């Protein structure tokens, strides 16, 4: 079977937005609530408070997003919900009125598309919420409800709120706020397929699927793909699977997954022993213990060999998300670690994803703290911001950084050097994660001699020896560079 994935994803740089925290609209809009009940924007986020970010606010910031070089946005859930993160869905057909409703979303979607920015929504299809109409009907009518078989009811009476009694129904991760769907029920299955189809017809460019590994009904994700792709063959389907995802990346289900298998080793190499353990120990993407270059090279080769190349090019590569601490905090505030990891993610095959605020050095511990309000410009870290702008621009300028072959050239001590090549375009990327300057001699077989510094600082010297060429590269401590042809 020939695997097909959406071509646009291979050239995308994603921006992940948590809608309650990115921007409040400055224009007068019809709102459910005015300022009085919102948490202070710059105060530490809480589990249950809202900061009042909305879709109009994002619309007003599209210039910023576009200027950064972003051409795809992944939104965490936007459907009506009684939670600030909106993973507790009340109505899958209604964009939360607090965000501006379906009208604001249509306006934002059209404006994004005019700028050639794709939009991917979060699909929470494993579970709903206690406020979801069908489950609410079961709470009201008990065994008489026509929707009893939509959920995994174990006994009566149901206890949705009082923890002193058994819930008597299955909730995701044992959480009674998140009643699980019974996906073996054909009605449930059809209901979810129709939601997926509705929003693709509405104009979205794909779905990010929340905990899709929890849905084990045979054929479910195969049907999901067929029905979504029948409407838009270029729609992107990306799953939230943290580990080995071969089971879902066989070409019949997802186009990619959130690539935590890339994130973990990359942070462990770039940040090394600076990683703050309490920010990573409860998360299973393993950004610890520290890795030297040779170990990092091994891990990266393993990741690249797991899936077909067509799938590798549509993986969603990230360093942080709403489910992790932010990179700046994981690295103990060390800017060099952030810059090195950013260099690695923006030169890796697959679509890089930047978690809103990471590009300006926003810190944040494990959630809810990693979901802070986007900072005022006066509080941006300009060095981190400029690094992102420069690297995103280079990724767009050089096709080899997007779809070129990835070859490790050198991995010793704390120096890691690799090449990205596409036809006659050849680039060399070097990362020195160590605290001392390093000089390396590397024998390379290339058509060209990349000696122009496109990014970073280094001393470069080429010597030709019969069929091979020798590159002598000196990379300063805690820095990286990209070499192209001058």
**Structure tokens belonging to residue 269:** 């190499």
Is residue 378 located within the same domain as residue 344? yes
- Predicted confidence at residue 30, as pLDDT, reads 74
The b-or-e profile of 380-410 (16+ CB within 10 A means b, else e) is bbeebeebbebbbbbbeebebbbbbebebbb
- Distance of alpha carbon 188 from alpha carbon 184, whole angstroms: 8
- Asked which of 342, 363, 397 is the last residue of a domain, the reply is 397
Check: CB of residue 7 under 8 Å from CB of residue 71.
Answer: no
pLDDT tens sequence across 417-468: 999 999 999 999 999 999 999 999 999 988 899 999 999 999 999 998 777 8
Task: Give the mean model confidence (pLDDT) for residues 188-212.
Answer: 98
Of residues 283 and 280, more confidently modeled:
280
Rounded (5°) CA angle 429-268-334 = 85
Active site residues: 210, 240
Among all chains, which residue has been given the structure tokens 């998300």? 321
> Does residue 114 share a domain with residue 224?
yes
Q: Classify residue 15 by its DSSP letter.
A: E
**Structure confidence at residue 21 (pLDDT):** 98
Burial level of 471, CB count in 10 A (0-12/13-18/19+)?
A: buried
Q: Is the pLDDT of residue 342 over 70?
A: yes
3-class secondary structure, 354: strand
Q: Supply the pTM of this predicted model.
A: 0.97
* Domain assignment present for 297: yes
Please state, as a whole number, how many other Cβ atoms lie within 10 Å of the Cβ of residue 185. 17
Q: How far apart are CA 67 and CA 55, in angstroms?
A: 19
- 286 with 339, same domain? yes
- Give yes or no: residues 232 and 290 share one domain: yes
CA proximity to 244, closest of 322, 312, 303: 303
Judged on CB neighbours under 10 Å (0-12, 13-18, 19+), 159 is: middle
pLDDT at residue 476 in the model: 98
Are residues 227 and 340 part of one domain?
yes
Residue 381: predicted pLDDT? 98
Percentage above 90 pLDDT, the chain: 93
Given phi > 0 = left and psi -120 to 50 = alpha, else beta, which region is 73? beta
Cα–Cα distance for residue pair 360/336, rounded to 1 Å:
14
Under 8 Å between Cβ of 64 and 376:
no
Asked whether the bond before 93 is cis by omega within 30 degrees of 0, the reply is no
Q: For residue range 12-70, what is the model confidence (pLDDT) as tens digits?
A: 999 999 999 999 998 887 777 766 789 999 999 999 999 999 999 999 999 999 999 99
Number of domains in the chain: 2
Is residue 449 a part of any domain in this protein? Answer: yes
Same-domain pairing of 345 and 471: no
Q: Of the candidates 107, 116, 85, which has an alpha carbon nearest to the alpha carbon of residue 27?
A: 107
Same domain assignment for residues 427 and 391: no
pLDDT tens-digit map of 374-416: 999 999 999 999 999 999 999 999 999 999 999 999 999 999 9
> Which parts of 129-202 fold into alpha helices (H)?
133-141, 186-202
Strand-by-strand arrangement of the 425-432 sheet? 405-412, 415-422, 425-432, 479-484, 452-455
Q: Indicate which CATH number applies to the domain containing 71.
A: 3.20.20.80
- Per residue in 318-333, pLDDT (tens digit) is 999 999 999 999 999 9
Query: How many angstroms separate the Cα of 68 from the Cα of each of 295, 318, 342, 448?
Result: 33, 17, 14, 31
Cis? peptide before 474, omega within 30° of 0: no
- Alpha carbon of 415 to those of 267, 315, 348, 390, 451: distances in Å? 15, 25, 17, 22, 18
Which stretches of 96-147 are assigned E, i.e. beta strand? 118-123
376 and 437 in a common domain: no
Q: What is the pLDDT of residue 161?
A: 96
In-domain check, residue 355: yes
Tell me if 162 is assigned to some domain. Answer: no
Place of tokens 């900061």: 51
Average pLDDT over residues 167-177: 97
How many Å apart are CA 47 and CA 45, to the nearest integer? Answer: 7
**Inter-residue contact 234 to 129 (CB < 8 Å):** no
- CA–CA gap between residue 253 and residue 222 (Å, rounded): 5
What's the confidence (pLDDT) of residue 166?
A: 97
Q: With respect to residue 157, please indicate whether it lies within any of the assigned structural domains.
A: no
The pLDDT tens digits for 211-227 are 999 999 999 999 999 99
Tell me whether residue 110 is in a domain.
yes
pLDDT, tens digit, 9 for 90 and up, residues 81-135: 999 999 999 999 999 999 999 999 999 999 999 999 999 999 999 999 999 999 9
Measure the CA–CA gap between 364 and 369, rounded to whole angstroms.
5
Task: Check whether residue 327 and residue 470 sit in a common domain.
Answer: no
pLDDT digit string, tens, across residues 392-401: 999 999 999 9
Q: Indicate the average pLDDT of the chain.
A: 96
CATH number of the domain that residue 476 is part of: 2.60.40.1180
* Token pair in block for residue 236: 């992107």
Q: In what order do the strands lie in the sheet with 206-209?
A: 256-257, 236-239, 206-209, 118-123, 72-75, 14-17, 351-355, 316-318
311 and 269 Cβ atoms separated by less than 8 Å: no
User: Looking at residue 189, what is its pLDDT?
Assistant: 98
Q: How many percent of the chain have pLDDT more than 70?
A: 99
Residues 387 and 461 in one domain: no
The verdict on 251 and 372 lying in the same domain is: yes
| Residue 345 and residue 428 in one domain | no
Choosing from 338, 371, 397, the residue where a domain stops is 397
Peptide bond connecting 420 to the previous residue in cis, omega within 30 degrees of 0: no
Backbone φ and ψ of 323, nearest 5°: -95, 0
What is the extent of the structural domain holding 345?
7-126+181-397
Number of H helices, E strands in the chain: 14, 18
pLDDT of res. 32? 72
So what's the pLDDT on residue 347?
Answer: 98
pLDDT for res 464: 83
Q: Report yes or no on 166 lying in a domain.
A: no
In a domain, 373, yes or no: yes
Query: What is the C-alpha separation between 179 and 172, in angstroms, rounded?
Result: 6
Q: Cα–Cα distance between 215 and 93 in angstroms, integer?
A: 21
The pLDDT of residue 35? 64
Domain boundary among 344, 366, 397: 397
List the structure tokens of 286.
Answer: 């393993």
| Residue 308 in tokens | 């077909």
């Amino acid at each position: 079977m020939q695997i097909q994935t959406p071509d646009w994803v291979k050239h995308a740089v994603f921006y992940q937005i948590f809608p309650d925290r990115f921007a409040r609209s400055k224009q007068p809009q019809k709102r459910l609530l005015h300022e009085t009940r919102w948490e202070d924007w710059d105060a530490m986020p809480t589990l249950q408070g809202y900061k009042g970010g909305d879709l109009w606010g994002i619309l007003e910031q599209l210039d910023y997003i576009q200027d950064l070089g972003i051409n795809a946005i992944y939104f965490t859930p936007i459907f009506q919900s009684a939670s600030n993160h909106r993973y507790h869905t009340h109505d899958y057909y209604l964009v939360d009125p607090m965000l501006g409703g379906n009208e604001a979303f249509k306006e934002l979607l059209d404006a994004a598309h005019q700028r050639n920015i794709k939009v991917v929504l979060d699909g929470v299809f494993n579970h709903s919420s206690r406020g979801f109409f069908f489950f609410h009907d079961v709470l009201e009518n008990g065994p008489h409800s026509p929707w009893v078989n939509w959920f995994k009811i174990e006994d009566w009476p149901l206890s949705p709120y009082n923890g002193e009694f058994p819930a008597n129904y299955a909730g995701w991760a044992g959480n009674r706020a998140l009643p699980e769907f019974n996906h073996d029920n054909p009605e449930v299955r059809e209901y979810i397929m129709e939601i997926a189809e509705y929003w693709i017809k509405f104009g979205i460019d794909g779905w990010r699927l929340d905990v899709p590994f929890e849905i084990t009904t045979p054929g479910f994700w195969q049907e999901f793909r067929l029905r979504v792709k029948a409407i838009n063959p270029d729609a992107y389907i990306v799953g939230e699977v943290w580990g080995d995802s071969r089971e879902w990346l066989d070409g019949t289900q997802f186009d990619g997954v959130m690539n935590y298998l890339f994130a973990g080793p990359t942070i462990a190499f770039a940040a090394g022993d600076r990683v703050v353990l309490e920010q990573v120990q409860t998360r299973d993407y393993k950004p610890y213990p520290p890795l030297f270059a040779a170990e990092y090279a091994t891990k990266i080769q393993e990741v690249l060999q797991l899936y077909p190349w067509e799938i590798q090019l549509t993986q969603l590569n990230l360093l942080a998300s709403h489910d992790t601490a932010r990179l700046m905090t994981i690295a103990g505030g060390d800017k060099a670690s952030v810059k090195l990891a950013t260099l690695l993610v923006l030169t890796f095959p697959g679509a890089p994803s930047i978690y809103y605020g990471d590009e300006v050095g926003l810190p944040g511990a494990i959630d809810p703290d990693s979901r802070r309000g986007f900072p005022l410009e006066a509080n941006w870290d300009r060095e981190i911001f400029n690094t992102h702008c420069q690297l995103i621009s280079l990724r767009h300028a050089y096709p080899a950084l997007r779809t070129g072959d990835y070859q490790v050239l050198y991995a010793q001590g704390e120096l890691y050097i690799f090449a990205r090549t596409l036809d006659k375009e050849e680039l060399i990327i070097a990362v020195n994660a160590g605290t001392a300057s390093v000089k390396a001699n590397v024998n390379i077989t290339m058509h060209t001699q990349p000696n122009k510094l496109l990014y970073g600082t280094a001393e470069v010297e080429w010597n030709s020896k019969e069929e091979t060429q020798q590159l002598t590269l000196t990379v300063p401590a805690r820095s990286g560079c990209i070499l192209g042809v001058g």
